[in-house]
Structure 1
Amino acid sequence: MDEAFSIFLEEFGAPIERREVPVSSIQRYRGLLPDQLLEYWSEHGWCGYGSGIFWMVNPQEYDGVVASWLENTEFEKMDSYHVIARSAFGDLYLWGEKTGASLKITSILSRCSVHKSIYIGDKMDKGVQAFMVSKRVGTNDYGDLFKPALKKFGLLGPDEMYGFTPAFMLGGLDDLEHMEKLKIVEHLMFLSQITELKPFDYSDC
């Protein structure tokens, strides 16, 4: 295990719901995603960390989600993106084949944040390591609701997320009382169709 992943585990703790990554998936993404990420897959599998607040995922399962969120946005033609990780609340970490760790979607709010990575080209393996080291438990929470949600609903499965019903972007409330454990792909597809994806406006913060 390399130092970057060790630092990540110190922050998040032991994995849950580990799924072994088939050789076919490694081959599918060889040349599209960095070798370092594929090595992590081979060694650690796809699984949740921090009791499921953060997940390393199979990008193929999210291809339709990515297409739906990015349709008719500037990102659609900018790069080819793959979801490599997600949070318990449906935050999506997208890896661009040319731009690296450059795009994050906060699905509950239909907002995205763009990052210009310095780790592109032949530096993408270092970019994967930097991505892992930079992750924090707190920044994957939503309104400090993870622990209450975990207590109320139990651990998430690999195909589940905590979400709000009715959806926040439809005027629903983003509190524990209006939260449910939902199928992640289906709910993300639904959220992607409610309103257009917009960049965060940090002037409102």
Structure 2
Amino acid sequence: MDEILARFLEKNGPIMARREVPPSSIERYKGKLPPLLLSYWKEYGWCGVGEGILWLVNPQEYEAVVASWIENTALEALDTFHLVARSAFGDLYLFGEKTGFSLSIDAPVSRYSISNQNISPPDTDREVQNFLLTFEKDYNDFDDLFDPSKNKLGTLRDDEMYGFVPALSLGGQADLQYIEKVKTVEHLILLSQITSLEPYTMSDL
């Protein structure tokens, strides 16, 4: 295990619910995703960390999610994005083939942030390292509801997330009583269809 990943796991918790990555998936994303990320897939699989607060996922399974969020928006023309990680509450981390880890979507509130950058192939592995080094569990813990949700509903499976039911934009509240275990792909697509995706502004911070 390399030093960066070891530090990430020491800070955020051990790997859980590991899924073997088939060679066909490694081949599919060669030249599209960083070699370092593919090497992590090969050795550690698609998996959860931090008791399920973050998941490294199969981008192919989330192609419909990405399309549903960014089609017919200005983001669509910026790059070809692949969803490679997501949080327990639907923070989505997308890797652009030209721009790296430039786009993140906060699905429960339908907001996104993007950095304008272009990366060269030698920089893509550094992008992965920076993502791991800067990841914060607290930032992905929606209103400190992760532990209460896990205690009430149980640990997530790899195809589940904690969702607000009804969705926040439909009158749900950021309260434990409104949280349910939901199927991740289906819920994320539903959220994308409820309200339009908008950029974060200074007033949101």
Say yes or no: TM over 0.5: yes
Q: Which runs of 5+ in 2 are unaligned?
A: none
The amino acid of 1:25's aligned partner reads S
Count matched residues.
Answer: 205
CA 1:116 to 1:5, structure 2 compared with 1: closer, same or farther past 3 Å? Answer: farther
Aligned-partner Cα distance in 1 for 2:196–2:13: 35
Q: Secondary structure at the match of 1:166?
A: coil
Q: Does 1:105 align with 2:105?
A: yes
Counterparts of 1:42-121 in structure 2 under 5 Å? Answer: 42-117=42-117, 119-121=119-121
Q: Which runs of 5+ in 1 are unaligned?
A: none
Q: Secondary structure at the match of 2:142?
A: coil
The amino acid of 1:3's aligned partner reads E
TM-score (norm 2): 0.97
Aligned-partner Cα distance in 1 for 2:4–2:171: 40
Counterparts of 1:1-205 in structure 2 under 5 Å? Answer: 1-117=1-117, 119-205=119-205
TM-score (norm 1): 0.97
User: 1:4·1:130 contact (CA, 8 Å) conserved in 2?
Assistant: no
User: 1:164·1:173 contact (CA, 8 Å) conserved in 2?
Assistant: yes
Aligned-partner Cα distance in 1 for 2:73–2:120: 22
Aligned-partner Cα distance in 2 for 1:86–1:117: 22
Give the share of equivalent positions with the same residue, in percent: 55
User: 2:98·2:118 contact (CA, 8 Å) conserved in 1?
Assistant: no
User: 1:101·1:117 contact (CA, 8 Å) conserved in 2?
Assistant: no
The amino acid of 1:92's aligned partner reads L
Aligned-pair CA distance for 1:118: 7.0
The amino acid of 2:75's aligned partner reads F
The amino acid of 1:37's aligned partner reads L
Pairwise CA RMSD:
1.2
Aligned-pair CA distance for 1:119: 4.9
Structure 1 runs, 4 residues or longer, greater than 3 Å off: 116-121
